[in-house]
Structures are given as C-alpha cells and as structure tokens.
Amino acid sequence: MSVYPINQWPVDDRPREKLSKYGEKNLSSSELLAILLRTGVRGQSALDLSRSILDRFKTFRNMSCATVKEWTEIKGIGPAKLAQIKAAIEIGRRFLEVERQDNKIKISSSQQIFEIIYPQVCHLKIEIFKTIYLDSQNRILNICEEQTGTVNQVNPIIREIYKKAMECFASSVICAHNHPSGDPTPSRQDKVFTERLKMAGETLQVKILDHIIIAEEKYFSFADEGLL
C-alpha cells in the first residue's frame, strides 16, 4: 500500500504520465483502472484501490457482471467511482460489438455466439432477447435487442425479427436470450417460440440457425441439441 498519493510519486511512476510517455498498451490493468478512478481514499492511492478491485474481481469481464452490492463492499467505491467504471466497461463492450459487426465475423459455432452475447447479459436480473442477423456466408450483419424482451410475447417478437431481417437483407438469424434463474434449460415457451420462429422463417426463406439460452456461464443451444 502506498504511503503517498500518486501526485507525490516520481513522475515516471505515475500512471497518467506513463501513459503519455509510453502509451496505454504498456500500462498494467491496475494502472489503467487507476487513471479511470482518478483518486483513492484515505490511506490508499488510486493505484492501491485499483489493485484491490482487481484482487476482488480478477478480470474486467467479472467486473461487468458484478452486482452493485458486490461493488459497494469494496472500501472507497461510491456511486461516482462505480458510475465511471461501469461507463468505461460499457464503452469497451460497445466498441467490441461494433468491431465484430464491422469485421463481419463468420459464425461457425454456438460457442462463438455465447462469447459475443454473454458479456451483454451476464449481469442482468431481467430477461432480454437478442437477435443476430447474418449474411449468406454466416457473417454478422447486425445484432439487435428486441424491444418486446421476452419469448412469452411470441408473435410480436417474430414479426419484429423478420421485419429487421428483410431490412438488412439477412439470409439467416440466430436468437439468444438469458435466463436470470441460472438454469439454461429451455422452458415450454422457449420451445414453442423456437418452433414458430422456424416455421415463419421457412415461409420467408430466412433460416434460423440457432437459439441460444444463456444462464450464468452456461448455455443451451437448440442447434447443438438437434432441435432445429
């Protein structure tokens, strides 16, 4: 633990100055987080505080999934610092999402879908529904969150999905939603929805490649289980 605040450290040891001199890629995770936090608390510099956070959560992905209660258990993390951290993580998530879309990543497995969608839903206590639109080579065209939000509202979601598919000239779609309960087993509504979505797609000649249900760090794939 540092005895002195960062502004009293040698210039070359201060995270901001190191970033300016050597570039952000040469900073450790704790140094980057310290720059974001800006200040520490009594007895702890911003770098000390960032190290405490990383000791607790280990990775930025785990931070994105942490609850407010887990954050507030860390001494020195109040609403302002928590807002700064959450905003930065969300910026990173959106950057990655846009980059994946811009690069038109080709989807070849359910694991890929899980890795794309999991960071967006892992921390949520409510169910949300995502649709991934693909071209004829299974490359991502767009990822949308459906406003209706739950498979209990089957027909509105199906209409919206295929409307968007027509608008972006998608050849196929992959659906994904989370189960906040922690159990990825599909419900009866999940199965009914998937069957109706498949039937509508056959009529419109837009194939449904998969429906992924994510729960904590597990997932269920309708395609992998031979249910499509």
* Domain map (residue ranges) of the chain: 10-98, 106-221
Please tell me the pTM assigned to this model: 0.61
Residue-wise pLDDT for 8-41, tens only, equals 565 556 788 888 888 888 888 888 888 888 888 8
Residue-wise pLDDT for 103-119, tens only, equals 567 899 999 999 889 88
Residue 32 in tokens: 């980057």
Residue-wise pLDDT for 179-224, tens only, equals 988 899 999 999 999 999 999 999 889 999 999 999 988 999 999 9
Give the CA angle between residues 151, 184, 150 to the nearest 5°: 15
Query: Which CATH fold would you assign to the domain 106-221?
Result: Cytidine Deaminase; domain 2 (3.40.140)
pLDDT at 7: 59
